[in-house]
Amino acid sequence: MRLANWYYLLFIPLIIYLFFRRKKKSALKFSSVKLLKNRGFRNTIKHKIGKYIILTSLIFLIFALARPQLTKGNIPVFEQGIDIAIALDVSGSMQSVDFTPNRLEVARKTIQDFVDQRPNDRISLIAFAGTAYTRVPLTLDHNVVRESLRDISFESVNEDGTAIGMAISVGVNRLKKSNSSSKIIILVTDGSNNAGSITPETASDLAIDYGIKIYPIGVGSDITRIPYEVFGRTAYQQVDGDLNEELLNNIADKTNGKYYRAKDPGALSKVFEDINKLEKTEFEKDDFKQYTELAFIFILIGLALLAIGIFLDRYYFIHIP
């Protein structure tokens, strides 16, 4: 049994205190108590039963206010959705300005829009550069994901580079214990694997073992400009793209996913729109507990005792000679 409004019980000590502190003035005055004794009027426990029954009735009514409940059972609540780990590249090359203002900002905004369209999906967020780490574990609380996306930056990972294998392995670790029949990793990157202790091939094999599909997204144009500081001023260096499309294609093929190329912000949005059409699967969100309310029982008992107590106190034990 539980009490939904347990704080009402705090009134019980107060009522008991007031009950025993209260001194009732006599309705009739006698010059001597001997007269009462001679008439057979005794101040015994018997004559106080009515008052104690009234006190008990008040306690029962307070328990009714506290809403006593019995657990009737648990009802599982199901939702439609999939489990998604989003791995976002935050390496230095994501500063490229072929996307305005840069690749990372556009990717962040596009992922934000994607998350808003997936209210029933459990989403995990991973940041990677020279290594990878989980920023948000699988969750249905998308406000946490949005806040983490807003805070993500090029300083989120201390080591520069592009550890694609590490990003996939962290995603696999997030999803491997999932009970969803549909688990995917969305890998957003603009480079090739050049860092990390786990190769993309090894990480992809792990994904296959756990039934995880990988959707790599290669972002950026073939030639771009990267900003850098010179004597306090921003300059730009033109560089060729370092995207390893062959690697990303192989990762997608091995895991039954799909590789996408997004050379501009519009293409990136269309990629996420396509992923948004993925088949949904049902999963258990939580247990809904059913309770049986017992308050009415306490009310009936309390009112019955109150009526009995008043009757005994007012009419049964009082005899006026």
CA distances to 131, 193, 218 from 160, rounded to whole Å, are 8, 12, 18
Distance CA 235, CA 225 (A): 9
Tally of domains within the chain: 2
CA-nearest of 259, 279, 271 to 110 is 271
The DSSP code sequence of 274-303 is HHTTSPPEEEEEEEEEEEEE-HHHHHHHHH
pTM beyond 0.95, yes or no:
no
The residue-averaged pLDDT of 148-153 equals 95
Query: Quick one: 188 and 239 in the same domain?
Result: yes
pLDDT tens track for 235-266: 778 787 789 999 999 999 999 999 999 999 99
Query: Quick one: 53 and 122 in the same domain?
Result: no
State the chain's mean pLDDT as an integer: 86
287 vs 35, residue with greater confidence: 287
Residue 123 has what pLDDT? 96
Query: Quick one: 13 and 128 in the same domain?
Result: no
Q: Kindly indicate the confidence band of residue 199, based on its pLDDT and cuts at 50, 70 and 90.
A: very high
Query: Quick one: 146 and 60 in the same domain?
Result: no
Residue 78 domain-assigned (yes or no): no
Q: Would you say residue 216 has pLDDT above 90?
A: yes
Bridge partners, 196 (sequence order): none
Residue 229 domain-assigned (yes or no): yes
The DSSP code sequence of 129-144 is SSSEEEEEEEES-HHH
Q: Kindly indicate the confidence band of residue 85, based on its pLDDT and cuts at 50, 70 and 90.
A: very high
Range of lowest pLDDT (10-19, 70-79, 280-289): 280-289
Residue 222 has what pLDDT? 87
The dihedrals phi and psi of 72, each to the nearest 5 degrees, come to -85, -35
Distance CA 73, CA 203 (A): 42
The residue-averaged pLDDT of 155-165 equals 94
Query: Quick one: 112 and 201 in the same domain?
Result: yes
Query: Quick one: 88 and 175 in the same domain?
Result: yes
CATH of the domain at 174: 3.40.50.410
Residue 321 has what pLDDT? 47
Residue 320 has what pLDDT? 47
Residue 34 has what pLDDT? 53
Residue 319 has what pLDDT? 45
Residue 110 has what pLDDT? 96
Query: Quick one: 193 and 263 in the same domain?
Result: yes
Residue 72 has what pLDDT? 73
Query: Quick one: 10 and 118 in the same domain?
Result: no
Residue 249 has what pLDDT? 97
Q: Which amino acid is at 227?
A: P
pLDDT tens track for 25-62: 555 554 555 554 555 545 555 667 878 888 898 999 99
Query: Quick one: 134 and 114 in the same domain?
Result: yes
| Domain of 139, in residue numbers | 83-279
The DSSP code sequence of 227-279 is EEEETTEEEEEEEE----HHHHHHHHHHTT---EEESSHHHHHHHHHHHTTSP
Query: Quick one: 134 and 208 in the same domain?
Result: yes
Q: Would you say residue 69 has pLDDT above 70?
A: yes
Q: Kindly indicate the confidence band of residue 76, based on its pLDDT and cuts at 50, 70 and 90.
A: low
Query: Quick one: 210 and 230 in the same domain?
Result: yes
CA distances to 35, 83, 203, 250 from 219, rounded to whole Å, are 105, 23, 21, 17
